[in-house]
A = this chain, B = another copy of it.
Amino acid sequence: MSKKIVIIGGVAGGASTAARLRRMDESLEIIMFEKGEYISFANCGLPYYIGETIKERSQLILQSVEGMSRKFNLDIRNLTEVIAINREEKTVTATDLRTGKVYKESYDELVLSPGATPIKPGIEGIDECSNIFTLRNIPDTDNIKHYIDEMKPQTAVVIGGGFIGLEMAENLHALGIEVTLIEAGNQVMAPLDIEMASMVHSHLIEKGIRLILEDGVKAFENKGKKVVLQSGKSIETDFILLSIGVKPESRLAKEAGLEVSERGSILVNDYLQTSDEHIYALGDAIAVKDFVSEEKTMIPLAWPANRQGRLVANNICGRKEKYKGTLGSSVAKVFDYTVATTGNNEKTLKGLGRSYKTIHIHPSAHAGYYPGAFPIAYKLLFDPQTGKILGAQGVGIEGVEKRIDILATALKGELTIYDLQDVEVCYAPPYNSAKDPVNMLGYYAANIIDGLVEVAQWYEVDGVVGEENVILDVREEFELATGKIDGALNIPLGQLRDKLGTLSKDKTYYVMCQVGQRGYVASRLLKEQGYKCKSIDGGLKTYSYVKR
């Protein structure tokens, strides 16, 4: 007899599971419950529809209930909320939201892809606000769009500097609205480390976003027309978007006695089965294994949901395929910048007490002599013993996520920084350099592991100057006009060999240049000649992004 599969949630994870199930097995009975009106919509496109980059609302809906039902022979029940899972009898209880009818539906295998819901904390005055919104689905989008069209807000406050907050800040700004972005932490975009996030901060300010860091919301007053901050500051606003994160929709799972994590994420094994082997879970609602740290964590992104959907379907159909864990590869467009990350960042690695090394480079997006070669800032984290890649971050204008994707591929493939040297990219001047940034990262990291150079980080620079230590700036004299470190000694790289006599073997030279490359070359020279030195990683550029 054919099996009956019930799926809760009809978007990224749920719809992907359903489609693959049908392609695997024509005989399955597949029922997909979705409490909203729409299935298979483009969550990720919502901010761009609000900002009118995407013009047609219809483009947000990838599959209609009718179309998908027919194409994949699915029993899709939208506007129907599952309100209980009855594990003993293998049924779910559902409410048809159109009619209010409550009924049970049996299953052989149950799939939970209920997603995550925006966090709405009990801040004073929040319930009285008539102008506060969160953004998750089409109705939210319609509400926001309707409010903007009708009320024509002049000013907006976006609370939370995650990627949805930033995308919304940009899209509201694109509508001519004056935007204040409030972030309680000391940086936007948590997957970045602070020195990389600092570049984003500058860019946001440059683009006219009023950025407030390290200040939380204390209260809303005057029905949300006034936002009062912890610092005592207050901001008048016509519109508020609350985007401080999401929490897993795991109430059903919990009530059914399935294991969940402390943060409420549904726990699954490598085959994406919950503590009940006939119940699979995936997407934003589950705790995934962080591919690098192997810790259970919450990474609410679309790639994992889509990937897991296919695996769940395969496993239900009798395959036994493991989900390998999540890197958290992510990218966001922030005005002219592209910001991309993969793997663990320095904060995480530090928190885990893991040994790591980090490097920063600032290569051009493509050959410097071909027009439009903007620099990209890349950071790589790697294991100083094994050369294992641990994470990477990139911020720049063009070609940013291309290299982060390569690094993500290398990371998942368990390649090392040595392997990065052999990554044979396609090269032509409009696209990159004959030594690609990815190769450079491999070369530079290997130089550190191999002991060719010792580096100092941007946060070690301040206070270095003293009896024992000298900052040696090897840039050309004319470059000093663009900024320098107080007390640094300047000897351009081309003159260094001739002036070695003026240096002392008792001191340690912290060698600095614009981006770290000449500093490295100079360090090699000094080291070979018997001088103690460290190269300041990322050069003045990395240092000044975070210090200015």
CB-based contact A26/B67 at 8 Å: no
CB-based contact B54/A305 at 8 Å: no
CB-based contact B494/A428 at 8 Å: no
In the complex, whether A147 has a CB less than 8 A from a CB of chain B is: no
Q: Which of B53, B409, B424, B497 contacts A406 (CB 8 A)?
A: B409
In the complex, whether A12 has a CB less than 8 A from a CB of chain B is: yes
Which one of A103-111, A254-262, A415-423, A504-512 is at the B interface? A415-423
A434 to B283, CA, bound (A): 12
Q: Which of B25, B332, B410, B521 contacts A428 (CB 8 A)?
A: B332
A405 to B409, CA, bound (A): 10
Binary B-proximity of A216-241 (CB < 8 A = 1, otherwise 0): 00000000000000000000000000
In the complex, whether A44 has a CB less than 8 A from a CB of chain B is: yes
Nearest neighbor of A330 in chain B, beta-carbon distance = B426
In the complex, whether A493 has a CB less than 8 A from a CB of chain B is: yes
8 A Cβ contacts from A301-346 to B? 301-307, 310, 324, 326-327, 329-333, 338, 340-342
Binary B-proximity of A97-122 (CB < 8 A = 1, otherwise 0): 00000000000000000000000000
CB-based contact A370/B45 at 8 Å: yes
CB-based contact B419/A413 at 8 Å: yes
CB-based contact B327/A424 at 8 Å: yes
Q: Which of B427, B493, B524 contacts A329 (CB 8 A)?
A: B427
A497 to B329, CA, bound (A): 39
In the complex, whether A48 has a CB less than 8 A from a CB of chain B is: yes
How close is A457's CB to chain B, nearest CB, in angstroms? 22
CB-based contact B327/A497 at 8 Å: no
CB-based contact B528/A27 at 8 Å: yes
Interface size class on chain A is: 35 or more
A47 to B304, CA, bound (A): 43
8 A Cβ contacts from A352-380 to B? 367-371
Nearest neighbor of A72 in chain B, beta-carbon distance = B521
8 A Cβ contacts from A44-66 to B? 44-45, 48, 53-54, 59-60, 62
B-side contacts of A404, CB under 8 Å? 426
In the complex, whether A456 has a CB less than 8 A from a CB of chain B is: no
B-side contacts of A332, CB under 8 Å? 428
B-side contacts of A302, CB under 8 Å? 427, 434
In the complex, whether A401 has a CB less than 8 A from a CB of chain B is: yes
In the complex, whether A199 has a CB less than 8 A from a CB of chain B is: no
8 A Cβ contacts from A159-188 to B? 163
In the complex, whether A439 has a CB less than 8 A from a CB of chain B is: yes
CB-based contact A44/B429 at 8 Å: yes
Binary B-proximity of A434-450 (CB < 8 A = 1, otherwise 0): 11100100010000000
A497 to B246, CA, bound (A): 40
In the complex, whether A3 has a CB less than 8 A from a CB of chain B is: no
In the complex, whether A84 has a CB less than 8 A from a CB of chain B is: no
In the complex, whether A430 has a CB less than 8 A from a CB of chain B is: yes
A524 to B317, CA, bound (A): 14
B-side contacts of A529, CB under 8 Å? 26
In the complex, whether A203 has a CB less than 8 A from a CB of chain B is: no
In the complex, whether A347 has a CB less than 8 A from a CB of chain B is: no
A408 to B27, CA, bound (A): 39
A73 to B522, CA, bound (A): 12
Known: A369-B59, A405-B425, A426-B404. A434 touches B303 (CB 8 A): yes
8 A Cβ contacts from A1-41 to B? 12, 22-27
How close is A430's CB to chain B, nearest CB, in angstroms? 5
In the complex, whether A525 has a CB less than 8 A from a CB of chain B is: yes
Q: Give the 6 A-B residue pairs with the shortest CB-CB distance, closest first.
A: A26-B528, A331-B426, A302-B434, A59-B369, A70-B494, A402-B402
27 A-B pairs within 8 Å (CB atoms) are namely A23-B521, A42-B367, A42-B369, A44-B427, A44-B434, A45-B370, A53-B371, A54-B371, A59-B368, A59-B369, A60-B369, A70-B494, A73-B497, A303-B434, A307-B435, A324-B422, A327-B424, A329-B426, A331-B427, A341-B426, A401-B402, A401-B431, A402-B405, A405-B426, A406-B406, A408-B426, A412-B419
